[in-house]
Amino acid sequence: MVKCAPSFSPLGVIMPVKAWLLLVIALLNGCALWPNHEHRALNVPMVESMIAKQCSGYAQQSQTEQQQRQQQQAMLHDIQAQLNLLTAATPGFTNTHCPPAENPTPNEWEGKIIVGANEWIHLSPPGHHYQARVDSGAATSSLSAKNIEYFERNGKRWVRFELQHDDEADAIALEAKVVRHVLIRQASSAEPERRPVVSLTVNMGQSLRYDTEFTLTDRSQMTYPILLGREFLRDVILIDVSRQFIHPKYQPQTISQFNSANYSAKSTAKQIAKGTP
């Protein structure tokens, strides 16, 4: 039996050689792509150069801003120097006094007196100050009264009552002639309430003085013991509800002031009678 030797093929030898060559080339290309030391050394100077340029730009900008501030300070110095020269040339300039503007009296408008929503009044009798509520919605004025008693004096009907000044002060006993009676209908009651009406003198500030009629009722639960209604306003008073206590407390004349004023009036009358100024 004859054995044949295996045939030799050049292609079988060439293929492994090509594969090895391709592998070697691929490895070499990968090493070439990796940044070497020389490449990294070239990038560092570039970064340092960029940083230096930015620092130089910031320094230049800061210098420009400083120059601008110096120019502004120089301008302010020149303006101050010119102002000093003007002041020295006109010495009366700094001492000029402007008179205050002539504003209309805040308590009057077109001849009518303005009052606030709340005001101090002086009530006579008894001759005391009270806080009063001004209410144009009420027709009549009202006075806080307790223990109301009727009696007769000289054939006339009078009333005796107590007026509470405040929570701490003692009640004041008053007597007044009954002027009339009124019927007041309250929202809380179906039947109207019959109230006596008395006349007392009210002073508000130094310019208002009225004999005012008051209905007597218990106002102890109210904030203000006295309410001034439309009859007190008499078409000569305006209410500014945004203000209160516009008018100062009324200061009644003392006995010495009254005597002095009375003496002055008598002296003037005598001079006029004699024809002397």
Tell me the per-residue pLDDT of 139-150, one tens digit each, with 9 for 90 and over: 889 999 999 999
pLDDT digits (tens, 9 = 90+) for 195-214: 999 999 999 988 889 899 99
Q: Find the mean pLDDT for residues 75-104.
A: 72
The tokens for 103 are: 């504003």
* 140, 222 contact by CB (below 8 A): no
Instruction: Give dist(CA 25, CA 207) in Å, integer.
Output: 118
Look at residue 33 in the predicted model and tell me its pLDDT. Answer: 52
Q: Cβ contacts of residue 242 below 8 Å, gap of 6+? A: 117
pLDDT of residue 277: 47
**Omega within 30 of 0 (cis) for the link into 125:** yes
Q: Which amino acid is at 77?
A: H
Write down the pTM of the prediction. Answer: 0.52
Higher pLDDT, 210 or 99: 210
pLDDT at 164 over 70: yes
**Fold annotation for 110-142+179-252:** Cathepsin D, subunit A; domain 1 (2.40.70)
Give the pLDDT confidence score for residue 162 in this predicted structure. 92
In this predicted structure, the answer to whether residue 31 has a pLDDT above a threshold of 60 is: no
Share of the chain above pLDDT 90, in %: 24
Q: Which residue has the higher pLDDT, 42 or 137?
A: 137
Query: Residue 22: its pLDDT value, please?
Result: 72
Average pLDDT over residues 208-230: 89
The answer to whether 207 and 113 are in contact (CB under 8 A) is: yes
